[in-house]
A and B are shown apart, each in its own frame.
With several copies, the nearest count.
Chain A
Amino acid sequence: MAIASLRDIVVTAGTFPLLAGVNLELEGATSYVVTGPNGVGKTSLLRLLAGLEAPTRGSGHVLNFDLATTQRRQVRRNVGWLGHEGSFYDDLSATDNLLFAARALRLDVALVAPALERVGLGGRLRTPVKLLSAGQRRRLGLAWLLVRRPQLWLLDEPYASLDDAGRDLMSDLINHATASGATVVLSSHDPVRRDVVASHIEMRGGRIERVG
């Protein structure tokens, strides 16, 4: 069964169409790379899939939840999101942030410490998130995905601002996720790394031009 399917979806911001009619089917246990020039709508597509934007027109399902209704909240709950800005509390430390989120979603709290260690934040456990460097913040997002183990991963330019070790880690995680049955959608400007096998979703002018 398709893990997500979008039909003729238009998303507008004010009067401007961020997405201008998107059709898409995502299979389980696969990774997808969304590509396209700047401003084409990659971030908007990922936000739509995460249940963070409501469609103005068209219909769509993600993980069997209807995007057009209040089920969008359920989508958010079940999706792993890694964005540009990071969605953490600036004043709390990395550990506190993950502990709060894990407890709130009734996940295994014991996973937090190893996850932080794994992404290389072992030396910054008590530093408030606002003081972390760009790459460290991205790594914290990664750690959250490790704790979260979502069924659908949505990664907006995950490789940006990561160093080489971080990129390898990221690729590992993506491969691991698809191997264990999850679906990964990432946007990227870099040519996809050879170590990640993925279908391409090419966007142009707020629409999807080609999948394959």
Chain B
Amino acid sequence: MKKLTALILGPVALVTTLITLWMGYFVTPADKVQGELARLVYIHPAQAWVALYLSFGTATLASALYLWPRTRSVTADRIAAAAVEVSTVFIALTLITGSIWGRPTWGVWWVWDARLTSTAVLGVLMLGYLALRRANDDPLLRARRSAVFAILTAINVPIVHFSVVWWKTLHQGATVFTDNRHLKIHGSMAWTLLLSFIALSLDFAWLVRARYRVGSVSAANESADLEAALEARRTEAGA
């Protein structure tokens, strides 16, 4: 079963992504107001979903599992790291596609909207996580610290979210794009949208798995290296 999943995950992810792109480009119609740019709806929301919920949830869960003594394992640590890495990529993509989408309507690349701002803050938190991992080379220490940091980040998510939403709504009356966000969804568009969520979620799973594999292969190499290193150390004359 596990083997089968491993075997088909990649191809399935690839195919669903391709179908999504094909439907997004050729099957669904362009929007009346936004034109071709509206096709970003088949990629941007799904990216955001993966970046903020799927991957961040995975990372938090894995970190919590790592911190709980009964379930502590290298696997959990590695999955958390892989999820954050992938999530960083997806957040970057969300920011990029969002900016491209917003540019014609807003006239600028960025507005201080609640959702945008909180995404950016979360992105920096992810970078912080990666920086933290880089700064420690002792694996145990690194695992412990980054797990705690991930938990801290998780309690931050609702705090950041509400603070930014309230911050925005207090000052600003009409939001520029609430109207624009209201795309009329029907028929093939709805299906494509749904498919895009499935496709990007699969992509996420695939990437995390790949990253996890790279992690465990290099760890395996390390433990093979450890045998060699132990041998070398034992025969050392001392200096």
Query: Do A and B share a direct contact in the complex (Cβ within 8 angstroms)?
Result: yes
Q: Which residues of A contact B96 (CB under 8 A)?
A: none
Contact with B along A176-212 (1 / 0, CB 8 A): 0000000000000000000000000000111100000
Q: Which residues of B contact A13 (CB under 8 A)?
A: 137-138
List 27 A-B residue pairs with CB atoms under 8 Å apart, sorted by A's residue number: A12-B226, A15-B225, A16-B233, A17-B226, A17-B229, A20-B233, A21-B230, A21-B234, A38-B239, A39-B236, A39-B238, A40-B238, A69-B69, A70-B69, A119-B239, A120-B239, A121-B239, A122-B239, A123-B236, A123-B239, A124-B239, A136-B239, A139-B239, A163-B238, A205-B233, A205-B237, A206-B234
Which size class do A's interface residues fall under?
20 to 34
With A122-B239, A139-B239, A207-B234 as given contacts, are A15 and B138 in contact (CB-CB < 8 Å)?
no
B236 touches A205 (CB 8 A): yes
B residues touching A (Cβ–Cβ < 8 Å)?
Answer: 69, 137-138, 140, 222, 225-226, 229-230, 233-239
Q: Which residues of A contact B230 (CB under 8 A)?
A: 10, 17, 20-21, 206
With A14-B137, A54-B140, A70-B69 as given contacts, are A205 and B238 in contact (CB-CB < 8 Å)?
yes
Contact with B along A8-41 (1 / 0, CB 8 A): 0010111111001100000000000000111110
Which of chain B's residues has its CB closest to A37's CB? B238
Which 8 residue pairs are nearest across A and B when measured between Cβ atoms? A37-B238, A120-B239, A20-B233, A205-B236, A205-B234, A206-B233, A40-B238, A20-B230
- The answer, among B137, B140, B233, B237, for a CB contact under 8 Å with A17, is B233
Chain A nearest CB from B222 CB (Å) reads: 6
CA distance A208 to B15 in the complex (A): 58
Which of chain A's residues has its CB closest to B221's CB? A15
Q: Which residues of B contact A21 (CB under 8 A)?
A: 230, 234
